[in-house]
Amino acid sequence: MLSTLTNPKLLLIALSLFSLASFAYAGPLTPPSNLTATATPSDVSLDWVDNSSKENGFAIERSTDGSVFAEIERVLENIINYTDNAVSQGVTYWYRVRGFKTNRNGSESYSGYSNTATATIPNSYSQSSYYSQSAYYSQSSYYSQAGYYSEGFYYSQGGYYSQASYYSQASYFSG
Protein backbone atom coordinates (compact mmCIF):
# COMPACT_ATOMS: atom_id res chain seq x y z
CA MET A 1 0.00 0.00 0.00
CA LEU A 2 2.92 2.30 0.75
CA SER A 3 4.16 1.92 -2.81
CA THR A 4 0.75 3.04 -4.13
CA LEU A 5 0.87 6.20 -2.08
CA THR A 6 4.41 7.04 -3.19
CA ASN A 7 3.83 6.20 -6.87
CA PRO A 8 1.77 9.03 -8.46
CA LYS A 9 0.54 6.86 -11.34
CA LEU A 10 -0.73 4.14 -9.04
CA LEU A 11 -2.29 6.72 -6.76
CA LEU A 12 -4.14 8.25 -9.70
CA ILE A 13 -5.40 4.85 -10.83
CA ALA A 14 -6.53 3.96 -7.29
CA LEU A 15 -8.39 7.26 -6.91
CA SER A 16 -10.00 6.82 -10.34
CA LEU A 17 -11.23 3.35 -9.46
CA PHE A 18 -12.55 4.60 -6.13
CA SER A 19 -14.29 7.48 -7.86
CA LEU A 20 -15.87 5.21 -10.49
CA ALA A 21 -17.10 2.86 -7.79
CA SER A 22 -18.74 5.69 -5.87
CA PHE A 23 -20.50 7.00 -8.99
CA ALA A 24 -21.48 3.57 -10.24
CA TYR A 25 -25.13 2.90 -10.92
CA ALA A 26 -26.66 0.87 -8.13
CA GLY A 27 -28.48 -1.57 -10.40
CA PRO A 28 -31.47 -1.54 -12.71
CA LEU A 29 -34.69 0.20 -11.77
CA THR A 30 -37.73 -1.99 -11.43
CA PRO A 31 -40.52 -0.75 -13.73
CA PRO A 32 -43.82 0.50 -12.30
CA SER A 33 -46.84 -1.80 -12.73
CA ASN A 34 -50.64 -1.86 -12.67
CA LEU A 35 -51.04 1.43 -14.55
CA THR A 36 -54.70 2.47 -14.78
CA ALA A 37 -56.26 5.42 -16.61
CA THR A 38 -59.65 6.88 -15.66
CA ALA A 39 -61.23 9.45 -17.99
CA THR A 40 -63.63 12.30 -17.30
CA PRO A 41 -64.75 14.96 -19.82
CA SER A 42 -61.85 17.19 -18.74
CA ASP A 43 -58.94 14.96 -17.68
CA VAL A 44 -57.41 11.52 -17.28
CA SER A 45 -56.29 10.28 -13.85
CA LEU A 46 -53.37 7.87 -13.89
CA ASP A 47 -52.42 5.56 -11.02
CA TRP A 48 -49.60 3.01 -10.83
CA VAL A 49 -47.61 0.89 -8.38
CA ASP A 50 -44.06 2.02 -7.54
CA ASN A 51 -41.90 -1.11 -7.49
CA SER A 52 -38.52 0.57 -6.97
CA SER A 53 -36.88 2.50 -4.17
CA LYS A 54 -34.05 3.82 -6.34
CA GLU A 55 -35.78 6.17 -8.78
CA ASN A 56 -35.63 9.96 -8.76
CA GLY A 57 -39.06 10.08 -10.34
CA PHE A 58 -41.32 8.85 -13.09
CA ALA A 59 -41.61 9.88 -16.72
CA ILE A 60 -45.18 9.79 -18.05
CA GLU A 61 -45.68 9.24 -21.77
CA ARG A 62 -48.84 9.60 -23.90
CA SER A 63 -49.90 8.57 -27.40
CA THR A 64 -52.95 9.21 -29.57
CA ASP A 65 -52.33 6.20 -31.82
CA GLY A 66 -50.99 3.59 -29.39
CA SER A 67 -47.58 3.36 -31.05
CA VAL A 68 -45.82 6.76 -31.05
CA PHE A 69 -45.38 8.04 -27.48
CA ALA A 70 -44.07 11.37 -26.21
CA GLU A 71 -43.13 12.33 -22.66
CA ILE A 72 -45.73 14.73 -21.25
CA GLU A 73 -44.62 15.09 -17.63
CA ARG A 74 -42.26 14.00 -14.88
CA VAL A 75 -43.17 13.51 -11.24
CA LEU A 76 -40.90 13.04 -8.22
CA GLU A 77 -40.00 9.72 -6.64
CA ASN A 78 -42.67 7.80 -4.75
CA ILE A 79 -45.50 9.70 -6.49
CA ILE A 80 -47.95 7.12 -7.81
CA ASN A 81 -50.52 9.22 -9.65
CA TYR A 82 -50.85 12.01 -12.17
CA THR A 83 -53.73 13.91 -13.78
CA ASP A 84 -53.48 14.84 -17.45
CA ASN A 85 -55.55 17.99 -18.05
CA ALA A 86 -54.44 18.56 -21.65
CA VAL A 87 -57.01 16.27 -23.26
CA SER A 88 -59.72 16.66 -25.90
CA GLN A 89 -63.19 15.18 -25.84
CA GLY A 90 -63.81 12.15 -28.03
CA VAL A 91 -60.09 11.29 -28.26
CA THR A 92 -58.54 8.00 -27.09
CA TYR A 93 -55.19 8.26 -25.30
CA TRP A 94 -52.65 5.56 -24.47
CA TYR A 95 -50.33 6.04 -21.47
CA ARG A 96 -47.21 4.37 -20.12
CA VAL A 97 -44.86 5.22 -17.23
CA ARG A 98 -41.24 4.44 -16.46
CA GLY A 99 -38.92 5.28 -13.60
CA PHE A 100 -35.82 7.38 -14.08
CA LYS A 101 -32.68 7.99 -12.07
CA THR A 102 -30.23 10.81 -12.63
CA ASN A 103 -26.71 9.48 -12.25
CA ARG A 104 -23.97 11.57 -10.66
CA ASN A 105 -22.40 12.25 -14.04
CA GLY A 106 -25.69 13.80 -15.21
CA SER A 107 -26.81 10.93 -17.43
CA GLU A 108 -30.15 9.25 -16.83
CA SER A 109 -31.04 5.61 -16.38
CA TYR A 110 -34.54 4.33 -17.02
CA SER A 111 -36.58 1.38 -15.91
CA GLY A 112 -38.63 -0.62 -18.33
CA TYR A 113 -42.12 0.63 -19.12
CA SER A 114 -45.24 -0.11 -17.14
CA ASN A 115 -48.18 -1.73 -18.87
CA THR A 116 -50.04 0.54 -21.29
CA ALA A 117 -53.37 1.98 -20.11
CA THR A 118 -56.01 3.46 -22.42
CA ALA A 119 -58.66 6.12 -21.81
CA THR A 120 -61.25 7.66 -24.14
CA ILE A 121 -62.37 11.14 -23.17
CA PRO A 122 -66.18 11.31 -23.08
CA ASN A 123 -68.12 14.30 -24.31
CA SER A 124 -68.87 16.85 -21.60
CA TYR A 125 -72.54 16.08 -21.73
CA SER A 126 -74.91 13.58 -23.17
CA GLN A 127 -78.06 15.32 -24.24
CA SER A 128 -81.34 13.56 -24.43
CA SER A 129 -84.65 15.24 -24.15
CA TYR A 130 -88.21 14.23 -24.51
CA TYR A 131 -90.94 16.73 -25.24
CA SER A 132 -94.62 15.97 -25.33
CA GLN A 133 -97.46 18.31 -26.01
CA SER A 134 -101.13 17.56 -26.30
CA ALA A 135 -104.01 19.92 -26.75
CA TYR A 136 -107.72 19.48 -26.86
CA TYR A 137 -110.06 22.20 -27.95
CA SER A 138 -113.83 22.04 -28.03
CA GLN A 139 -116.37 24.66 -28.95
CA SER A 140 -120.04 24.26 -29.36
CA SER A 141 -122.86 26.53 -30.53
CA TYR A 142 -124.26 26.51 -34.04
CA TYR A 143 -120.81 25.28 -34.95
CA SER A 144 -119.04 22.31 -33.33
CA GLN A 145 -115.39 21.54 -33.54
CA ALA A 146 -113.41 18.88 -31.81
CA GLY A 147 -109.76 18.43 -32.35
CA TYR A 148 -106.84 16.57 -30.99
CA TYR A 149 -103.32 17.60 -31.79
CA SER A 150 -100.20 16.01 -30.38
CA GLU A 151 -96.60 16.49 -31.15
CA GLY A 152 -93.79 14.51 -29.64
CA PHE A 153 -90.15 14.39 -30.42
CA TYR A 154 -87.08 12.73 -29.10
CA TYR A 155 -83.77 14.35 -29.83
CA SER A 156 -80.39 12.96 -28.95
CA GLN A 157 -76.95 14.22 -29.73
CA GLY A 158 -76.41 11.12 -31.78
CA GLY A 159 -78.70 12.65 -34.41
CA TYR A 160 -82.06 10.92 -34.10
CA TYR A 161 -85.16 13.06 -34.48
CA SER A 162 -88.73 11.82 -34.66
CA GLN A 163 -91.94 13.77 -34.91
CA ALA A 164 -95.46 12.45 -35.04
CA SER A 165 -98.59 14.49 -35.12
CA TYR A 166 -102.28 13.88 -35.45
CA TYR A 167 -104.90 16.50 -36.06
CA SER A 168 -108.56 15.80 -36.32
CA GLN A 169 -111.45 18.14 -36.95
CA ALA A 170 -115.10 17.35 -37.21
CA SER A 171 -117.69 20.00 -37.68
CA TYR A 172 -121.41 20.14 -37.95
CA PHE A 173 -123.29 23.27 -38.79
CA SER A 174 -127.05 23.49 -38.87
CA GLY A 175 -128.93 26.55 -39.62
15-24, 46-55, 142-151, 162-171: range with highest mean pLDDT: 46-55
Residue 169 has pLDDT above 70, yes or no: no
Q: What is the pLDDT of residue 161?
A: 37
Residue 16 sits at φ, ψ, to 5 deg, of -65, -45
> Rounded distance, CA 80 to CA 102, Å?
19
Provide the 3-class DSSP secondary structure of residue 4.
helix
pTM of the model: 0.59
Residue 98 sits at φ, ψ, to 5 deg, of -145, 150
Amino acid of residue 19:
S
Q: How confident is the model at residue 2 (pLDDT cuts 50, 70, 90)?
A: low
114 and 132 in a single domain? The answer is no
156 and 134 in a single domain? The answer is yes
39 and 82 in a single domain? The answer is yes
What confidence tens digit (pLDDT) does each residue in 15-30 have? 454 444 444 445 689 9
Name the residue among 122, 124, 116 with its Cα closest to residue 61.
116
Range of the domain at 59: 27-120
144 and 95 in a single domain? The answer is no
Which of 34-43, 81-90, 160-169 shows the lowest per-residue confidence on average (mean pLDDT)?
Answer: 160-169
> Rounded distance, CA 25 to CA 9, Å?
26
> Rounded distance, CA 39 to CA 58, Å?
21
> Rounded distance, CA 124 to CA 63, Å?
21
What confidence tens digit (pLDDT) does each residue in 82-137 have? 999 999 999 999 999 999 999 999 999 999 999 999 999 998 754 443 333 444 33
Strand positions, DSSP E, 54-127: 57-63, 70-76, 81-84, 92-102, 108-110, 117-120
Choosing from 90, 120, 150, the residue where a domain stops is 120
Are 36 and 48 contacting, i.e. CB atoms less than 8 angstroms apart? yes
What confidence tens digit (pLDDT) does each residue in 59-76 have? 999 999 999 999 999 999
89 and 166 in a single domain? The answer is no
Q: Within a domain: residue 81? A: yes
Q: What is the pLDDT of residue 28?
A: 87
Amino acid of residue 161:
Y
